[in-house]
Structure 1
Amino acid sequence: MTVLATERLILRDWTDDPADLARIYDIYSRPEITRWLGVAPGLPLTDPAQAAERWRRWRDRHAADRGRYGTWAIEVRDSGLVAGTVLLKPLPGRDETRRTSDIEVGWHLHPDSWGHGYATEAARAVMAREFATGTPEIYAVVSPGNEPSMAVCRRLGMEHVGQRTDWYGGELLETFVLAAPGG
């Protein structure tokens, strides 16, 4: 299901189609991607069958959100290539068992899709939709040293507010925030 569309991208639900599962595996089995995802359990993927488990985890995590929050595929309109993932969701607290009221935007792109502006375009679209619901600010949290993702945050107009340990079990993360337009 298409969630949003931009000039160049279709943001849609990941599916259990073999092509989507293969791309999930290809992205999340790569050390150059997973090394920035902190202490995410089960990463990097080591067996293609794990892609279906990851897809189910995303689907189940957002089942009650009615499409407002999710972990979506970024599909390039012209080619049909899935460039990666964009996510929008409540950040997990320090104990990771509950959601906070802080909303996170994030992205994970395959190396073959780096440098085309897809992360910025996808994140801008999901943030605009979320701001339209009345959310006052959106965060991006980035592992220290992940300069490309911090550059995306800056292109989005996000302000760097330092390193924080409020979320993801207290992991030290570079934190960026963008206030709602006119807010």
Structure 2
Amino acid sequence: MVVFETERLVVRHWSEDDGDRVFDIYRRWEVSRWLGAEPRVMADRGAASKAMQRWNERGRTAPYGVWAVEERATGTVAGTVLLVPLPEPSDGTPGRGEVEVGWHFHPDAWGRGLATESARGAIAHGFRAGIGQIHAVVRPDNVASLAVCRRLGMRSLGRTTRWYGTELEAFLV
């Protein structure tokens, strides 16, 4: 099911046919090193199927989801874009219903503006649904994702430990 489209991309729910590509993306340390409080690579193809099932479940609560980013010209899944509620704060402060945009791409898709294009589409999708503010949280040394935040016109909020139990650069649009 298509969630939204951009000039070069179709953003959609995952299908079982995407499993090999998901495993190929998340088995790579150069991708997974930036994800989660304790980064780790995906262990096996079965983990990809389980992840896609979880992501599709999250997508049942509009406008949220963790979606496949497919290149229109080739039909190749380039990566993942997400629009999800941020978890309850890990710093002990009360949650305020913040929403996060994020992206994870296969290295063969890096450097072509696909993360920026898909994130811009996810932000527009969220705004159309009535979300007033959208955050991004990025590890301080993830230069590529910090650049995506700047290209999206996001405002830096500085470093925080508010979410995910680790120090992150926070941005807002």
Q: TM-score, normalised by structure 1?
A: 0.87
Partner of 2:169: 174
Alignment of 1:2-17 (within 5 A): 2-17=2-17
Matched residues in 2 for 1:156 and 1:58: separation?
A: 24
Task: Tell me which stretches of 4 or more aligned residues in structure 1 moved more than 4 Å.
Answer: none
For each residue in 1:124-161, what CA deviation from the matched residue of structure 2 results, as whole angstroms up to 9, or x when unmatched?
Answer: 11111211233221100001200000000000000111
Of 126, 130, 137, the residue aligned with 1:141 is: 137
5+ long unaligned stretches in structure 1: 179-183
Matched residues in 1 for 2:96 and 2:76: separation?
A: 33
Tell me the SS of whatever aligns to 2:86.
strand
Q: TM-score, normalised by structure 2?
A: 0.92
Alignment of 1:2-151 (within 5 A): 2-17=2-17, 20-39=18-37, 43-63=40-60, 65=61, 67-94=62-89, 101-151=97-147
Tell me the SS of whatever aligns to 2:15.
coil
- What fraction of aligned residue pairs are identical, expressed as a percent? 50
Aligned residues: 171
Higher strand proportion (structure 1 or 2): 1
Matched residues in 1 for 2:36 and 2:72: separation?
A: 31
RMSD: 1.9
